[in-house]
Amino acid sequence: MKDTTLAARWHSWAPYFLSALRIIAGALFVLYGTTKLFAWPAAVMPGGGTAPLASLAGVAGAIELVGGVFMMLGLFTRTVAFILSGEMAVAYFYAHFPQGFWPVLNVGVDAILYCFIWLYISAAGPGPWSIDARRTAPLTRIDV
């Protein structure tokens, strides 16, 4: 007999919430890249403007922009998410941790959260709303 309790129905939505988390986090992550590379929606680099592509901030911006788009699409999700998780770990220990121990005071909360969101997605996969799910789904034959 199928379990139709509210808890069971709510649990059945978990894969879709995983996809939603990946898509929303990817879209927000793109903004970190666009602020560094294009000063859009605002110039956040010290002194305003954009980061040179060959600089550390420029490389980070490119990783965030491209990686965020891949996360939104759910393309090569596990590999890209693992790379993004590593980028956020490096960002935290390179830029935030030297400013103090407490993440709330060294402005490193976002880096820590993204690090673990991407690490989780690298293990959990993209969810059903993704290009990866479509690429690995078995083809079904349609008789005409």
The per-residue pLDDT for range 67-98, each reduced to its tens digit, is 999 999 999 999 999 999 999 999 999 999 99
Helix (H, G, I), strand (E, B) or coil at 127: coil
What are the domain boundaries of the chain?
A: 11-129
The 10s digit of each residue's pLDDT in 102-134 is 999 999 999 999 999 999 999 999 999 999 999
CB-based contacts of 89, cutoff 8 Å, min separation 6: 111, 115
pLDDT value at residue 139: 64
